[in-house]
Amino acid sequence: MLPPGVLGARAYAATTQGAGCPDIPVTHTPPLKRYVDPLPTPLTAVPDPSAYPGADYYEITMRQGSWNFHQDLGPATVWGYWANNPHDPDKPTGMGYLGPTISVTTDRPTVVKYRNELPTTHLFQFVIDAIRNGCSELTPTPPPPYKPVLPFPPNVNVWNVVHQHGGFTAPQSDGMPMQSFSPDGIHAEHYTTLEPGRVERNEAIYGYTNHDRSCMLWYHDHGMGMTSLNVYAGLAGLWRVSDPADERLGLPRGEFEVPLILQDRTFNPDGTLAYTMTLREGEDTPVVNGKAYPFLAVERRRYRLRVLNASNERFWRLRFDVYPRDALPQPTLPFWLIGTDGGFRAPLQMLNFLISPAERYDLIVDFSQVPMGTKVRLTNYHAPVHYPGMPGEGPEIREIMEFQVTEPLSGGTDRTRPPKELRLPTVAPVKPKSHTRRRQWVTYQHKLFRTMTFNAMPFEAPSQDFIEEGSSEIWEYINPNHDAHPMHVHLVNFQVLDRQPIDAVEYQADYEKWIDGGRKSEDLPVLENYFTGPPIPPDPDEARSNKDTFKSYPETVTRIIIQEFTPPTRTIASIPGSGTKLPATYIHHCHILEHEDDDLMRPWTILGHGDHGGDDHGGGHGH
């Protein structure tokens, strides 16, 4: 639906450069008592199965509301998603902050009408103003010969679009940034909607295939130029895909399957949200499912924890610390990893793990290993922002939440299957072939603390990467920077192949020469000339796992393999135009949201057989 060469094209002129940066003091959250607020669980939205044949229908509204993040803090103004209840229209499902869980069955489609009823002035308007005024640290400024442009028009302070993260979705329903729409009905250049006769100017209808394995996706805002602010205000929620076959696996279910949405936030003394990431890296207080330092009372039994890192930029390095410390022979409680972004994998026993923004980890934690009365704390250890990479300068958060083993065992016994006995669907490794196409993406920063881009090109430059439908490719993400980046590719799942260290200083210098020399394809630095060691296998927790987000480590090339680029073409719920028409353009980007907003994002295009998208279909960085 989105033809090649136009996605991301925008023409809002930047008026100034170097001025207009916000001059505000750094706020710090007042001291808070820990583990006094119970962990909330987002409610599950109720579908209407009668609106579309063979599909579930939801109406979800973005609204401003109020939410208490801690009992010692006053109410905060927040944004959230609310789902209509078809059985009781006067009682929509939501919390005010975040959104209700959308629970679907694999391969049963979902149709959603999204409605934007947010204010037309942003909750963090000072950042919008700074971007519009050309603040050099916030306004996307690409390297030469490209000129800076503003990411939103002069009459828009708030616009939004919803992206189903990790889903197998046609481009017109994917929720890409240039599909944004405002509360007062202003549309970005590539705004689309199914059934246009059934929406108002502040609405859009999307269709989802749910053609995914049993897994936990999520949905979140993707508004052009302000994704970071919109998600920070609260626009995120869980999208759980289930398979009826899951019931035979012997996994914890019901109240023993607990979602954990991890975020970091800073609060003013009155309890309102303070956005400080124009001044420092990361925020200073952990928030889980919307509560700061919550607790969960648990039984001495196995629990399934569905962990989502929904932070703007914080990597969490997590373990389960036991108190009293002598409750176990070792001070940390072992756990089992049973799934990642794209669903189940072979069980792996672990003591800790690193989760980057947008990644999901599916865990089994057995609290029967500790005595009654034990406290088990989810701890983030030695990982200040940014981590990993250059020593973090942002606030370090050490304790996140507490599991209090205080509840009697219900039902008489734990009937779930021990993790080592689980028979889960496994992931076969995708093996590259000699002719598998390789495509390179360089994380390039023209000036320190300024805009980062892929391949030294701004997001709004037309797509130059053309991929044949049904083909397999290896994408090499070259990161000469000092920080790690979580990279997300829309539409597809992939596997991490390996990583290889590079001489980052020499590569960066030669890449600069390539740019200054006119970007001639024959002069592009040859990656193989900069290796400083052999390829390193994927981390154990990502090996043989289907992923949609991965960690691009500093001074390293990370290789992923995408088995098949085949978008969904079938009609969804009998809605005309709901399937993909080729050529079709999608995007990939860094999921540090501030980097994404500042242009670390690029389109790529799938071509049908016989289509033509460029002279070499490669954009100069493939081979």
pLDDT of residue 615: 44
- Rounded distance, CA 543 to CA 316, Å? 19
Residue 619, pLDDT > 80, answer no
pLDDT of residue 11: 37
Q: Give Rg (Cα) of the chain.
A: 23
pLDDT band per the 50, 70, 90 thresholds, residue 623: very low
Mean pLDDT value across residues 588-617: 87
> pLDDT per residue over 540-566, tens digit each?
999 999 999 999 999 999 999 999 999
- Rounded distance, CA 190 to CA 7, Å? 7
> pLDDT per residue over 185-216, tens digit each?
999 999 999 999 999 999 999 999 999 999 99
Whether the predicted model's global pTM rises above the 0.85 cut: yes
pLDDT of residue 310: 98
> pLDDT per residue over 42-63, tens digit each?
999 999 999 999 999 999 999 9
> pLDDT per residue over 117-127, tens digit each?
999 999 999 99
pLDDT of residue 616: 43
pLDDT of residue 447: 78
Percent of the chain exceeding pLDDT 90 equals 89
Residue 446, pLDDT > 90, answer no
pLDDT of residue 137: 87
pLDDT of residue 390: 80
Residues with Cβ < 8 Å from 586, sequence gap 6 or more? Answer: 171, 174, 176, 489, 490, 491, 567, 603, 604, 605, 606
Pairing relationship of beta strands 549-552 and 556-562 according to DSSP bridges = unpaired
> pLDDT per residue over 287-314, tens digit each?
999 999 999 999 999 999 999 999 999 9
- Answer for the pair 353, 362: CB distance below 8 angstroms, yes or no: no
pLDDT band per the 50, 70, 90 thresholds, residue 389: confident
Residue 7, pLDDT > 70, answer no
Percent of the chain exceeding pLDDT 70 equals 95
pLDDT band per the 50, 70, 90 thresholds, residue 614: low
- Rounded distance, CA 339 to CA 306, Å? 9
pLDDT of residue 621: 64
- Answer for the pair 238, 166: CB distance below 8 angstroms, yes or no: no
- Answer for the pair 593, 313: CB distance below 8 angstroms, yes or no: yes
Mean pLDDT value across residues 486-512: 98
Strands, E assignment, 310-417? 316-323, 335-340, 343-350, 353-355, 360-366, 375-380, 399-407
Q: What are 238's two structure tokens?
A: 């869980």
